[in-house]
Structure 1
Amino acid sequence: NMFPPSQDLEPFPTLEKRMAIYDENAATLSIKAIEDCIAGQLHKSEITHLITVSCTGMSAPGLDLQILEAMELPATLNRTSVNFMGCYAAIHGLKIADAFCKSQPRANVIVVCTELCTLHFQKEATADNMMSSLLFADGSAAMLIQADEHTGFRLENFYSEIALKGKKDMSWQLSGTGFLMTLTGYVPDLVRSDFNSLVKNAMEASGRPAQDVTHYCIHPGGKKILEAIEESLQLTKHDFKHSYDVLRKFGNMSSASIVFVLKNILEEIKETGQSSATIFGAAFGPGLTMETFLATYE
């Protein structure tokens, strides 16, 4: 138990203690996610690249080396760590994996996103602390990205924008008792005003009209953010059902969340026998950064 059995939770856990708990647990969750991901598809010895994604803990040697050692992966494994970028970092991980696959025709890249958000509970009854405690959760998810030509899911393009006017409205800062989250009520307003143009700009950069999108894979950052996107695109809650489903069942798991949403979308495409689909993905983080991807399924 991280917290003492005192009424005031004192002595309150230090950042050092929280990071020790992260080190004890993050690798186990990550390995389970990786094993589930590659089961029946790839032997662990065939993994050529490992990309670890996390904003809730870090050390050196870190999560990447813990996974390599525990899974007995080759010492020649290419490792990349995406740290402290927030909820949009899974898309950044996908972007790196895509670059590896384009440059190395035999690449088998694992992207694993592991977040232990609840480690950073703060006891002061501020709006930011209460919101963080209610919204954020723990989770881990892995993806296998391959260079070989396979039918099915294919990454097509990436696009990002930064709304610097929202720089102070979403932040993630270090403190002596953990990481401190700031997420103001202005974030949904920023998303509402900018998201429609973000989609148009991203699709234009891909050489595709926005009307081509059949599925929206949106990071479930919160109910108000999803509602703001609905209003901006003039769509309905049903169009974002997978985002709502993940938010309802698991909460906001930071970078891992959008991977859960993507999994649900791909399962629906397969189960309903759709011959093709165009998936637009988006997530948000400090900056205010809006990161997107475009993918197809055939």
Structure 2
Amino acid sequence: MSKIVSIGTANPRYCHRQDDILQFMLDATNPDEKSRKLLPLLYKRSGINTRYSVFPDFSLSRGNWHFFGNNCVSPTLEQRMKLFNEEVVNLSETAIKKCLKDTRVEEITHLITVTCTGLSAPGLDILLTEKLRLPANIIRTSVNFMGCYAALHALKIADAFCRADASSKVLIVCTEICTLHFQKSNHIDDVLSSTLFADGSAACLVSGNSKDSGLAIKQFFSKIALAGQPDMAWQLSGNGFLMTLKNHVPKLIKEEIGSLLHSCLNQLNLSRKDISHWAIHPGGKNILEAVENALALNHNDLAVSYDILRDYGNMSSATILFVLEKIMQKPHTRGNIFTVAFGPGITIETAMLSL
């Protein structure tokens, strides 16, 4: 049985208070009267205190902005991808070094890179192979543009590698620079996105050696709620990537999560009482509350997810690994961990882990 041996996380150097990002939004978008009243309400209800970004603009007053310019001119896709390529390798490397503090780079047999906020070729996998001095013949896989659930998809691939060869040590790194894609817009989809997304990186090491300590990977299960396809989407445009995020996404997740959990438990011949911890992707406060209500959980059951949302916001694919890292760090973590993340489709991806 393959195991998650270690997790390392990293954030860019600029930490922004949610109140400062709100002020930036008000200055940058010059909203109409209705939006000017709505924005403070959305930010106050977000459950987020701080978020991280690769640039300082969100804490600066108009006239001092760097990336967006004094008049908040929307950068082109080329400008956004240039900054992505300048920042993504170092941020990934920081997370990887934390993850591999007890493992030699030479032991790594596979590299899986995950991102949905930047695309280029040669990609992050090759850039990291060079930067980390990994073997030129290392087995590389890239998971691109799958959104917030992509870390669990990468874990599926790593688990398959380890089951095929127990000597495998698979390094996964999820790095997202979401704030690159801020849009100067008062459209409700862009406004909702502006309240949530942030930058971060998380790396994890998956080993095929069952004697290694760590989180055992017991099962994966996924479902697509096809009715929600138009409600959560991620598209390229000349002015960056455009997020569609409808406010009834939590309702759709609430309708699906109960039956999905039931199917997961049936496959493993487990019951609800066999779950000790809940690692829920903090896609937003409303999503966490929807899961909490649908599964009859209490706020404390999802405390780690709420904490990650409060301190970091939604870092897309990296976020669920932040949650798992914090659960692993608890001194007396034992038992089964039901892990779930959500993304375009609407896709609900789960993993049952145990420690």
| Fold agreement, TM-score > 0.5 | yes
**1:209 CA drift (Å):** 2.2
Relative to the length of structure 2, the TM-score reads 0.80
Q: Which residue of 1 aligns with 2:167?
A: 106
- Name 2:68's counterpart in structure 1: 3
- Identity within the alignment, %: 51
Give the one of 154, 160, 170 matched to 2:232: 170
Q: Which residue of 2 aligns with 1:148?
A: 209
Residue 185 (structure 1) shift: 1.1
User: Using the alignment, how far apart are the partners of 1:81 and 1:207 within structure 2?
Assistant: 33
For 1:216 and 1:120, locate their aligned partners in 2 and report how far apart those are by CA, in whole Å. 30
1:46 Cα deviation after fit: 1.0
**In the alignment, which residue of structure 2 is the partner of 1:185?**
247
CA contact (8 A) 1:87 1:285 kept: yes
Matches within 5 A, 1:1-298: 1-5=66-70, 7=71, 9-10=72-73, 12-40=74-102, 42-149=103-210, 150-268=212-330, 271-272=331-332, 274=333, 276-297=334-355
Q: Contact 1:159 / 1:205 at 8 angstroms: preserved in 2?
A: no
Offset at residue 204 of structure 1 (A): 1.4
In 2, distance between residues paired with 1:36 and 1:151?
17
Match of 2:36 in 1: none
Gaps in structure 2 of 5+ consecutive residues: 1-65
C-alpha separation between the residues in 2 aligned to 1:58 and 1:77? 21
Deviation at 1:193, TM superposition (A): 1.3
C-alpha separation in 2, matches of 1:33 and 1:266? 16
Q: CA deviation at 1:103?
A: 0.5
> Cα offset for 1:186?
1.1
TM superposition score normalised by structure 1: 0.95
Is this contact kept in 2: 1:90–1:255, CA < 8 A?
A: yes
Q: Distance in 2 between matches of 1:72 and 1:95?
A: 25
Distance in 1 between residues matched to 2:283 and 2:268, nearest whole Å: 25
Please report how far the alpha carbon of residue 151 of structure 1 lies from its aligned counterpart in structure 2 after TM superposition. Answer: 3.2
- Are the aligned partners of 1:110 and 1:142 in contact in 2 as well (CA < 8 Å)? yes
Measure the CA separation in 2 of the matches of 1:157 and 1:102: 12
Q: Count residues with an aligned counterpart.
A: 289
What amino acid sits opposite 1:86 in the alignment? G
Paired residue type of 2:303: K
Root-mean-square deviation (Å):
1.0
Q: Within 2, Cα distance between the matches of 1:210 and 1:26? A: 40
Ranges in structure 1 where 5+ consecutive residues have no aligned partner: none
- 1:131 partner letter: L
Secondary structure at the residue paired with 1:235?
Answer: coil
Residues 81-90 or 122-131, more deviating: 122-131
> How far is the alpha carbon of 1:206 from its aligned partner?
2.6
Counterpart secondary structure, 1:87: helix
User: How far apart are residue 263 of structure 1 and its match?
Assistant: 0.5
Q: Which moved more, 1:147-156 or 1:224-233?
A: 147-156
| Superposed CA offset, 1:113-141 (max 9, x none) | 00000000000111111111110000000
Residues in 2 aligned to 1:58 and 1:172: alpha-carbon distance in whole angstroms: 13
Structure-1 separation of matches of 2:265 and 2:173: 27
Q: Give the SS at the match of 2:206.
A: strand
Runs of 4+ with >6 A deviation: none
Shift, 1:19, TM fit: 0.6
Measure the CA separation in 1 of the matches of 2:344 and 2:224.
Answer: 9
